């Protein structure tokens, strides 16, 4: 149950009959049920939608903040008891993968968050429904909303249902790698230095740019990695460098 005597008022967008049907579909697909559908609707409300709305509504950022903490606690507890033979560093590494933006955005796509999220016209035009950061943040916001609505045990069950398959992938080494971190660790250990990234090209309009980034290790240059933002392009460049330097896939 919620920790306080009285729930705060949440200024979520108005729920039309059509929107209510959509939210009910989302609940049914996930096997959960909100007592307060406004919380779920607010979890889907990106700041771009709130900023453009004629209503005075909140966005999902505070729910995301809360959901991030719930997610971290649940995953940490699960790893602590499941991986009793591992040290703290190993647990932290597994956790970093499964709660990463990349992992959460993939989960978001599986549960169709992109079909239900409320975003502004500008974000819609620039492909906001497929942006990893927006999808990952909305997933954390849904977790935060469910925690407020139904309490810790229910939200814990929900988180584990979503995350255990991702944890299994990491333990079986079948997950998508964080090549930037892997490259950083390898270069520091092998060469006692660090990779250097450089933007070599930007293409496209401001709302839909593509970045081309090279990474240099010692005197060797790798890439370019290409992405819709610098972070993605750096990851792709790091992947090229790491695979070349180590021979690993």
Q: Which residues carry out catalysis? A: 68, 140
Question: Of 29, 26, 47, 51, whose CA–CA distance to 37 is shortest?
Answer: 26
- How far is residue 94's CA from residue 83's CA, in Å, rounded to a whole number? 10
DSSP 45: B
Let me know if 159 is exposed, middle or buried by CB neighbors in 10 A (0-12, 13-18, 19+).
Answer: buried
**Phi first, then psi: what are they for 196, rounded to 5°?**
-120, 125
* 179-191 vs 230-246: helix crossing angle, rounded to 10: 50
DSSP string of 164-178, one letter each residue: HHHHHHHHTT-SPP-
- How far is residue 145's CA from residue 147's CA, in Å, rounded to a whole number? 5
Strands (DSSP E) contained in the chain are: 196-203, 210-217, 220-227
């Amino acid at each position: 149950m919620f920790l306080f005597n009285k729930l705060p008022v949440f200024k979520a967008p108005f729920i039309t009959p059509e929107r209510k049907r959509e939210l009910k579909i989302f609940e049914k697909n996930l096997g959960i049920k909100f007592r307060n559908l406004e919380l779920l609707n607010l979890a889907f409300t990106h700041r771009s939608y709130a900023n453009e709305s004629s209503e005075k509504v909140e966005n999902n950022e505070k729910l995301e903040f809360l959901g991030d903490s719930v997610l971290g606690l649940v995953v940490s507890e699960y790893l602590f008891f499941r991986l009793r033979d591992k040290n703290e560093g190993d647990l932290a590494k597994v956790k970093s993968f499964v709660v990463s933006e990349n992992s959460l955005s993939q989960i978001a796509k599986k549960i169709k968050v992109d079909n239900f999220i409320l975003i502004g016209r500008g974000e819609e035009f620039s492909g906001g429904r497929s942006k990893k950061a927006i999808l990952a943040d909305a997933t954390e916001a849904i977790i935060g909303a469910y925690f407020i609505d139904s309490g810790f045990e229910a939200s814990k069950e929900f988180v584990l249902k979503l995350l255990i398959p991702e944890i299994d992938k990491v333990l079986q080494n079948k997950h998508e790698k964080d090549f930037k971190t892997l490259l950083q660790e390898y270069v520091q250990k092998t060469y006692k230095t660090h990779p250097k990234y450089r933007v070599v090209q930007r293409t496209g309009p401001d709302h839909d740019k593509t970045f081309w980034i090279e990474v240099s290790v010692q005197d060797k240059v790798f890439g370019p990695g290409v992405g819709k933002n610098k972070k993605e392009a750096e990851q792709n460049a790091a992947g090229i460098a790491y695979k070349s330097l180590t021979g690993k896939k």
